[in-house]
Amino acid sequence: MRQTTGERVIFWALPAVAIAWIAAFLLFPGFLPPMSPRASATDVATFFRDHTARIRYSMILLNWFCVALIPMLMLIVERMRGMAHRTPILRFCMIGVAGAAPIAFLTATVFWLLAAFQPDRAPALTQLLNDLAWITFTCGVPFLVAQCGFLALAIYFDQQDEPVFPRWVGRFNVLVATALIPAGFAGLTTHGVFAWNGLLGFWVKNIAIALWIIVMSVVLGRAVEKDNAAAEATA
């Protein structure tokens, strides 16, 4: 019962995590609209001087959000234990990428926080930190793509009468992975749909991540409650 209670606590903490994520996203003035990669060093430095407090607080919130994602991902990994696999290798791969993906985004928030920490430094240095943050935030999608891929593959191989996750969840993860791939090329251009402020580099990527969190939270809740009901019936 201790494990079951712990899982329920983690799961029902997800709404608070979602609120922190939305608040940080809206608080950071560089997301709506996204900053342009073609902004001059002077413009970037002026932006960080004019919005120093908002940037600092939003990045601290995003730091906590990145860490709070890991327990949710571990709930998915725990559900994978009940899948009909001959080897736990997919679960181990999921653990690896699930731990690395939030760290990539946390690193981006640290770069933004550093740029706002001393906004009066040389404009070129502030622009460099801003570039580091945006490239890390946008291009750090391979872990997310691999995460969706491993999960989709695990769901496909879960050939039992009552699979842990419905089959459509696997197809959904493939679609999300496909939507995330273009963002990995944001470092090649400063304009167009692949740029960090472009249609594919920013909007499609972030909408796909938001949908993944929402959908996986719903199906994860159903899977957790099903396992808890089975455990309580056995007890």
**Amino acid sitting at position 186:** A
Q: How many residues does the chain have?
A: 235
Instruction: Give the pLDDT score at 22.
Output: 87
Instruction: Give the pLDDT score at 4.
Output: 56
2 pLDDT higher than 50: no
Q: What is the mean pLDDT of residues 62-69?
A: 84
87 pLDDT higher than 60: yes
| 40-49, 128-137, 164-173, 219-228: least confidently modelled range | 219-228
From the number of C-beta atoms within 10 Å of its C-beta (0-12, 13-18, 19+), residue 58 rates as: buried
pLDDT > 70: percent of the chain: 94
Note the pLDDT tens digit of each residue in 182-219. Answer: 999 999 999 999 999 999 999 999 999 999 999 998 99
234 pLDDT higher than 70: no
Q: How confident is the model at residue 42 (pLDDT cuts 50, 70, 90)?
A: very high
| 14-23, 48-57, 127-136, 194-203: least confidently modelled range | 14-23
Instruction: Give the pLDDT score at 1.
Output: 45
Give the CA count within 13 Å in the CB-facing half-sphere of 196: 24
Note the pLDDT tens digit of each residue in 149-170. Answer: 999 999 999 888 888 899 999 9
Contact 125, 183 (CB under 8 A): no
Greater confidence (168 vs 87) lies with: 168
In the block, residue with structure tokens 């709070």: 68
Give Cα 210 to chain centroid, integer Å.
8
Instruction: Give the pLDDT score at 142.
Output: 93
Q: Greatest CA span in the chain, whole angstroms?
A: 66
228 pLDDT higher than 70: no
Instruction: Give the pLDDT score at 222.
Output: 85
Instruction: Give the pLDDT score at 98.
Output: 85
Phi-psi region of 83 (alpha: psi -120 to 50; beta: other; left: phi over 0): beta
Q: How confident is the model at residue 67 (pLDDT cuts 50, 70, 90)?
A: confident
